[in-house]
Structure 1
Amino acid sequence: MAQHSRGTPVSGRSPATPPGPTGTRSPAAHRLLSLDVVLALLALVGGLRVLYSGAATPVLPAEAANVAHAYALGHLTPFTGADDAGASPFGWAQLAAYTMVSGAFGRSGTAVAAVREAVLAAALAGALLLWFLARRLGCPRWASAAAVLLLAASPLALGLQRLVVVEHLAVGWALGGLLLVTRPDARIRHDALAALCLLAAVLTSPLALVFLPAAGWLLIRRSPVRAALVAVLLNLGLGIAFGPAAGLLRPHLAAAGRPTVADWVALDPAWAVLSTVALVAAVGVRSLRPFALAGLLLAATLVVPGVPDTAVLALLLPLTPLLLAGVAQAVTRQRVAPAAVVLVVVVAASWSYGYPAPRPATDRSDPLVGARDWLRANASGARLLVDDAAWAELAGVGWPTGMLATPAACEPACPPAEWAVFGEDRDELQHRHPGLARVFATAQPTAVFGTVTVSRLGVPPDGPAAASEASARAHAGAALVDSTRITLTPEAAAVLYAGNADPRLIATIAALATLQPVRVAAFPEAPGEDPAGQPRRRVLLTGGEDGAAAFYAGRRDLFRPSSVTRTGSGVLVTYPLFAPPGLLVPFSSP
């Protein structure tokens, strides 16, 4: 296979040399050293991606849709996603298969984290394939290790390879196919397996078509007849997949959107510079030209309107370190040390700039988890209108999927629902799904968890009555503070003065004060409700706890609490959501 490089064996094995002096490493020692290097690199790849996995909330619509489809397929549950989120039935099947075999949904805290395990496994497989492909092209261990190290530790790779996009799976299939194509002792079965790998890559993401010319080039170099065999197998498979089986297998890309290539490159400018250099320089190295062709075709798609930059970079990410390693090995055979120093300085400067962006979050709380738990406590079993990310999260904890509707079902009008749960920007959602305009017109935010808002639907917009209610709560609260029968902490008094206490609590505290002195320690916040402007509906009472507990346990109708709990700090009284209007009419005057 000398035709694959200039004086460099593509098999990855050292050229035959006379027996060395005593003390030189044996072939077994070389293999053990390679194994140690590979295991260390894989540990680095996996460890950094676990560390930098970040919050579990999806950061782009395509990821949320992929997670939802993977859950639905693995649990044989129907799910209808938006067309602009892309489609990859074969990719979803791979994600679902991993979660089913590994039990990821039962082990992970969120649906997104469960499916991201599959992406982590794909990243490990990609790093391993990158090592073997670099060695197959004749790169020494130091160059192969450098290629994997760039992929393992780049801030861009850490940010990109944590997202559930099917292109991470597709590039693994493509690298596997190219590795089989470059096998020096390949037989017909290896070529057939390479054709299947390349077919799987295309069925996972149509962008993987750019790897087919590179594979064909490598095959024609070796054997035109075998190249024809692979071409026949590929055409047969693609013809079936995009023809009779198109409804089950045909993939299509997600709509273009943020993050853009500029957003990603900002994480690692050195990657962009080195990748550009490698793509151009690799054209001058005969063994690398087929791979440079694939890389240049991928780079060209970045300027095609409608192609998502994230998907392109996911395929390009492991390819450019391979080209860079091959170019560096060809150029610096006699000047390894100076070139290595320059490369390390450039990469270190870039990474010191890019690492802060994808750094591990100190707060690992997930807004979707907060919204999910709030809904289970306050709206269990209700009909919900949710985005794709919330669908997967709620379905994962047993919410009936028949009670969950996505924006894709809102044309021409949304199905009946009592609550809405959205983490995406409302204007963007409404632009993509005009049927949501009527829903948002009657949506009252009830709980806010970071970027996720839970809204009650069918509520008229706030008017003078809402302002009157807030004024009444403030006046009635001030009267409680002035009562000599009620003792309040400064924090509790501030809540009453601001009119942030539920009218039912104000009325019942006043009634209890006529029977016994009352001590109010706090009005504890219900998670997520303060940011939505909801009055606090819980109170912690201390002193006279037996009388307070009996008093609240005996309330009926409108003033019956949802729970009365004895705690180590006192009696915690909780009312259900939404006090009826008019309970504080005497205090309604301005």
Structure 2
Amino acid sequence: MTSTLPAATTPKVPAQRSRAPKFVPSPPRILRFRSSRSDLLLCGALLVAILVVQGWNIADYPTLSDDEGTYLSQAWAVQEGKGLAHYTYWYDHPPLGWIQIALLTWIPAHFSPSSMTVGSMRAAMLVVSAVSTVLVYVLARRLSLPRWAAGLAMVLFGLSPLSVVLQREIFLDNIAVMWTLLAFCLAASPSRHLWHHFGAGIAAAAAVLTKETMLVILPALLVTMWRHGHRDTRKFALTGAITACTLLGLSYPLFALLKGELFPGAGHVSLWDGITYQMSRPGSGFVLDPGSGSYGVLQSWLYYDRVLPLGGLAGALLLLVTWRWSVTARALAGPALTVAILALVALRPSGYLPAMYVIQALPFLALVLAGGTASVAHAVLRRWRGGAEKPYVTGARYVVAALLAAVAGAYVVPHWYDGDRTALTADANAPYRAASAWLKTEVKDPEDTRVLVDDALWLDLVHDGYRPGLGVIWFYKADLDPAVTKTMPRGWRDLDYVVASPTVRRDAVDLPHVKAAMEHSEPVATFGTGADRIEIRRIQTVGGSR
């Protein structure tokens, strides 16, 4: 009996060993991505093309924005050790965003201080754009999109004229999107390490502390984290991510508390006042009302590109409707939910819709549009169940897919070509450069001259010798900052010039000092024409003397 037992069991051992390799799971997708030559080549080639398009003519188009100048001026103040802003910091946004801009621009500003201007420092945003674009590709692959669909998402995100224009600009939203994409990539990690989910919570907190409006899409991040978490550790990982995000996020109110600026009081700004202002600022109307400001913002987005916003919304709707039946829809539940949340926030009847709001949605619109395209392509090309197909049937489906792709390309390529060609060739900032040159050469004593400007020109004049805060004044602060108004006991009479850019003319109606300066001045130089012109106006006192 002892001799027959090995004889009966011995043949089974080699057989089990020979079958074992068939059941070994494949390596996680991210590990294959690191070593996949095809993924690296595709991602690298697309990244180069995207950076060339986004970087070409970056200083000249689009028109310089006052918000860009504000964030860069605040970054300059951080670099110079002048605090968190070039004027009194009043908790309009958390400071982490422009602290990152200060780090991005520190090296070029150190070697060439005069290059710390909006036009030249837009190049720093290419770093942010490059990281975000690669993260879109990685996230698409981690969400099980095929290689071609991940490349499509990358192209949609990086080469849409809407993306090219907005990602060039020095906006906090672009940096916050980078952190948000990193959080989604960590949440969807196939390795399922606990530290990945903790890292996702930290990255989410960094996104919110960069631009607080990213808070609304955190539920979509949690959905992604829940779907990709390991069943045994899912609740623990989710708790750790939420804890990490919350603790890091609380550093902002803690900062205000330690400075004695958490609540309103005499003689100081407060976080509470900042929140109250953001919550009570006048709305821009319903986005679908043709007479509202929000409708104008929507039309400005669609002017640059209709494919990504409308196609992305359609893709999100398709994925959410087919969630129960489609593997692709379940994989892209997080991005689709992100698009839905951002769309609902934009549809608030009395909400405020800023022009840069769509930046937060761009990568997720690209992902769901690419995912919806992959889902439709799979439906067209999948094999019939129950046996092999006839060759001509399979060939016909490929022909149909190719025709659909050709029709889509015939519509998209001409529109994108026109939009991107404008971004690569137009010069929208010649009036700003001319105004800056005039103030540098025609004003004989800049150290003793006081000028109201928008922040797009503020740093230019600082480099040209005007005293920051006293000589060159961000026009809002002439009415809204007590530290500035007390240096103007005679109001507009203490000023010499006002540079009437489109932003200054638009907002002067709500600013008494600025409005009076405009009314008691006359143009001495005008650059550009129409609504985009920039006028340099000399202040006139009674009798015609300054």
Q: TM-score range by the shorter chain?
A: 0.7 to 0.9
Residue 65 of structure 1 aligns with an amino acid whose one-letter code is T
Shift of the alpha carbon at 1:262?
1.2
Residue 330 of structure 2 aligns with an amino acid whose one-letter code is R
Structure with bigger gyration radius: 1
Q: Which moved more, 1:406-415 or 1:443-452?
A: 406-415
Equivalent in the alignment of 2:20? none
Q: Deviations over 1:275-306 (max 9, x none)?
A: 12111112121111122111111111222334
Indicate if the aligned counterparts of 1:46 and 1:120 stay in contact, CA closer than 8 A: yes
CA distance in 1, matches of 2:421, 2:542: 44
CA separation of 1:103 and 1:240: change in aligned 2, threshold 3 A: closer
Indicate if the aligned counterparts of 1:267 and 1:353 stay in contact, CA closer than 8 A: no
Indicate if the aligned counterparts of 2:521 and 2:540 stay in contact, CA closer than 8 A: yes
| 2:448 counterpart of 1:377 | no
CA separation of 1:134 and 1:357: change in aligned 2, threshold 3 A: same
Residue 387 of structure 1 aligns with an amino acid whose one-letter code is D
| 2:240 counterpart of 1:229 | yes
Residue 419 of structure 1 aligns with an amino acid whose one-letter code is Y
Q: Deviations over 1:43-76 (max 9, x none)?
A: 1111101124252675443223223222222223
Q: Deviations over 1:336-391 (max 9, x none)?
A: 53443233233225325644654521x57632332222222232322222222221
Q: Deviations over 1:159-186 (max 9, x none)?
A: 2212221101101000001101111213
CA distance in 1, matches of 2:316, 2:339: 7
CA distance in 2, matches of 1:67, 1:109: 12
Equivalent in the alignment of 1:527? none
Q: Give the alignment of 1:129-528 within 5 angstroms.
A: 129-221=135-227, 222=229, 223-245=234-256, 260-283=297-320, 284=322, 285-304=329-348, 305-333=350-378, 334=381, 335=398, 336-352=401-417, 354-355=419-420, 358-361=423-426, 363=427, 366-379=430-443, 380-381=446-447, 382-401=449-468, 402-411=470-479, 413-414=491-492, 416-424=494-502, 427-450=505-528, 451-460=533-542
CA separation of 1:110 and 1:365: change in aligned 2, threshold 3 A: farther
SS in 1 for 2:494: coil
| Unmatched segments (≥5 aa) in structure 2 | 1-25, 263-269, 285-292, 323-328, 382-397, 480-484, 486-490
Residue 346 of structure 1 aligns with an amino acid whose one-letter code is Y
CA distance in 2, matches of 1:109, 1:397: 12
Indicate if the aligned counterparts of 1:70 and 1:95 stay in contact, CA closer than 8 A: yes
Shift of the alpha carbon at 1:110?
6.5
CA separation of 1:102 and 1:406: change in aligned 2, threshold 3 A: closer
CA distance in 2, matches of 1:350, 1:10: 41
CA separation of 1:76 and 1:445: change in aligned 2, threshold 3 A: farther
| Unmatched segments (≥5 aa) in structure 1 | 1-8, 15-26, 463-577, 581-590
CA distance in 1, matches of 2:67, 2:131: 22
CA distance in 2, matches of 1:49, 1:107: 24
Equivalent in the alignment of 1:510? none
Between the two proteins, what is the percent identity of the paired residues?
Answer: 24
Equivalent in the alignment of 2:77? 72
Indicate if the aligned counterparts of 1:419 and 1:454 stay in contact, CA closer than 8 A: yes
SS in 2 for 1:103: helix
Indicate if the aligned counterparts of 1:70 and 1:115 stay in contact, CA closer than 8 A: no
Q: Deviations over 1:180-214 (max 9, x none)?
A: 11112132322222111100101111221133112
Residue 359 of structure 2 aligns with an amino acid whose one-letter code is A
Indicate if the aligned counterparts of 1:81 and 1:388 stay in contact, CA closer than 8 A: no
TM-score, normalising length from structure 1?
A: 0.68
CA separation of 1:229 and 1:364: change in aligned 2, threshold 3 A: closer
Q: Which moved more, 1:337-346 or 1:112-121?
A: 337-346
Equivalent in the alignment of 1:41? 46
Indicate if the aligned counterparts of 1:12 and 1:137 stay in contact, CA closer than 8 A: no
Equivalent in the alignment of 2:68? 63
CA separation of 1:86 and 1:366: change in aligned 2, threshold 3 A: farther
- Computed over aligned residues only, the root mean square deviation of the Cα atoms, in angstroms, reads 3.4
Structure with the larger helix share: 2
SS in 1 for 2:524: strand
Indicate if the aligned counterparts of 1:52 and 1:158 stay in contact, CA closer than 8 A: no
CA distance in 2, matches of 1:436, 1:375: 19
CA distance in 2, matches of 1:330, 1:57: 35
CA separation of 1:243 and 1:119: change in aligned 2, threshold 3 A: same
Indicate if the aligned counterparts of 1:34 and 1:141 stay in contact, CA closer than 8 A: yes
CA separation of 1:425 and 1:235: change in aligned 2, threshold 3 A: closer
Number of residues paired by the alignment? 443
Shift of the alpha carbon at 1:316?
0.6
Indicate if the aligned counterparts of 1:10 and 1:137 stay in contact, CA closer than 8 A: no
SS in 1 for 2:457: helix
CA separation of 1:88 and 1:394: change in aligned 2, threshold 3 A: farther
CA distance in 2, matches of 1:461, 1:123: 54
Q: Which moved more, 1:95-104 or 1:33-42?
A: 95-104
Residue 208 of structure 2 aligns with an amino acid whose one-letter code is V
Q: Which moved more, 1:135-144 or 1:343-352?
A: 343-352
In the TM superposition, structure 1's runs of 4+ consecutive aligned residues that sit over 6 Å from their partners are 27-30, 248-255
CA distance in 1, matches of 2:53, 2:113: 20
Equivalent in the alignment of 1:573? none
